Structure 1
Amino acid sequence: MTWKLGNEIKAVLFDKDGTLIDFDKTWAEINRKGALIAADGDAALADILLVECGMDLSTGKTRADSMFAAANASEIAAHMVAHGSPFEPEELMRRLDQTFVEGAESPWPICDLKALMQTLAGSGLSLGIASSDGEASIRRTVEVLELSSEIDFIAGYDSGYGPKPEPGMLLAFAAHLGLEPSQIAMVGDNGHDMEMARAAAAGAAIGVLSGTGTRQTLKALADVLIGSVADLPALVAAR
């Protein structure tokens, strides 16, 4: 591996879905449930909403950079209303947020996240999570995965820092740690993650191929692509 993480990097900010947890295993059925809620029980409309938000109905896979892959509950709700949901956007957002919390109770980790985080923290790196999910759901996921002692910072779309791909969540992480954005590496599986890193002038943008993003959608935005977060220790060890 020719690319390595520079010694100036002091912290790593992770996306959650597709990066730390398996996107489709965690979210496919919950997204189906959310679409049926948004369709007010109309199964045909629910299928339309699923397709419009990025799901392949036959495989359950989610398309790279689609609404389900990259957007927050507010954006997904507005998109579903624009494509036929009978609810007002704010009401649907509340219903979706409530449904999405279920995903926090049964996350499918990409790898042994406890061991990974302990290894990275043991290397002197501070660790955080920035997700388009709601903050309460992220915190519950961290609790379920028993990562509370390793994660120094959590931000969701509703934490007050602005949504991805705006730079706010990464800048807030830097301020929380007293670091410069150039001392932070962003790790994520979709374009919004890499765009947030660029907008914040992060020190590194690391794309993972374990989520909805593909080599084609990520290669122009990332400094380096790795298979999954399980490959991060090798980048750290190469410093």
Structure 2
Amino acid sequence: MSNVRAVLFDKDGTLFDFYRTWGPVTEAAALVVAHGDPIRAEIILTGSGKDPKTGRYRPGSPIASGSNQEIAQLWADLLGRHDEAGEIYRQMESMFLERQRQGAVPVLDLPVFFSRLRHRGLKLGVATMDSELGALTAMDRYGARDCLDFICGFDTGHGVKPGGGMVEAFAREMGIATGAIAVVGDSPHDIEMARAGGAGRAIGVLTGVSPREALLECGADIVIDSIADLETVL
């Protein structure tokens, strides 16, 4: 992968362990949205991707890969409160931002990791289906914001996954070809985004929602256990 000049990371499930970061707060948010009714909370969680037997989320499901706005609209629809999606989104976003201020669980020491990659001359970015504010909050919490050249959320204006707009925007801002970018992510949408945007490499990781087979089937060039192994394949 000697032609790689930049790396674009997904955030949740890639830089941050998905279940340790988002499992508890997603359950809590569903209970709040369901007005404290655990049965209705479970209905909206199951309806948006949770396997009731394993407690895990399906790869490509709204909770695993959608934006908070998409999840809020789905939860509103599942509860028959179609016109309350905006209020549900505000409730969720507040809880999720607080989680990123206080309790997100990074896969490793992000500033140290990013610094090593930058020392190799690589440009670094984050592309997430979280809000831009959510991404900035998480990076600030762990002192990693200044290590990044690009941070993009679903609401930044470059489109959403699995479209390729985030990859293309990163390439434009860095002044490089999309083929010089390696995309690293934990879901099929990340791999599909890499392909749609013309990224040169699509690298899957297993710290999120998807098994190795699912990432390879949707076109990953390689799947590694976590970003801790990334330097060995660049």
TM-score by length of 2: 0.93
- Structure 2 gap segments, 5+ residues each: none
More displaced, 14-23 or 46-55? 46-55
C-alpha contact (below 8 Å) 1:30/1:102 kept by paired residues: no
2:150 alignment partner, one of 149, 153, 162? 153
More displaced, 91-100 or 224-233? 91-100
What is the aligned partner in structure 1 of residue 111 from structure 2? 114
What is the aligned partner in structure 2 of residue 29 from structure 1? 24
More displaced, 35-44 or 192-201? 35-44
3-state SS of the aligned residue for 1:149? helix
What is the aligned partner in structure 2 of residue 100 from structure 1? 96
Return the offset for 1:218. 0.7
Q: Which protein has the bigger helix share? A: 2
Return the offset for 1:208. 0.6
The one-letter amino acid of 1:28's match is G
What is the aligned partner in structure 2 of residue 134 from structure 1? 131
What is the aligned partner in structure 1 of residue 14 from structure 2? 19
Return the offset for 1:166. 1.2
TM-score by length of 1: 0.91
Separation (CA, whole Å) in 1 of partners of 2:76 and 2:142: 34
C-alpha contact (below 8 Å) 1:19/1:208 kept by paired residues: yes
Return the offset for 1:56. 3.9
| Deviations 1:2-38, CA, capped at 9 Å, x for gaps | xxx2x22110000000100111111111101221222
Separation (CA, whole Å) in 1 of partners of 2:51 and 2:99: 19
| Deviations 1:37-70, CA, capped at 9 Å, x for gaps | 2213322101111111223456543332221110
What is the aligned partner in structure 1 of residue 79 from structure 2? 84
| 1:216 aligns to 2:213 (yes or no) | yes
More displaced, 88-97 or 215-224? 88-97
C-alpha contact (below 8 Å) 1:64/1:212 kept by paired residues: yes
Separation (CA, whole Å) in 1 of partners of 2:41 and 2:200: 41
RMSD value, Cα: 1.5
- Structure 1 gap segments, 5+ residues each: none
The one-letter amino acid of 1:53's match is S
3-state SS of the aligned residue for 2:228? helix
Q: Within 5 A, what are the aligned runs for 1:159-198?
A: 159-198=156-195
Return the offset for 1:147. 0.8
| Deviations 1:167-190, CA, capped at 9 Å, x for gaps | 111111111111111111100000
Return the offset for 1:205. 0.5
Separation (CA, whole Å) in 1 of partners of 2:196 and 2:53: 36
More displaced, 126-135 or 32-41? 32-41
The one-letter amino acid of 1:206's match is I
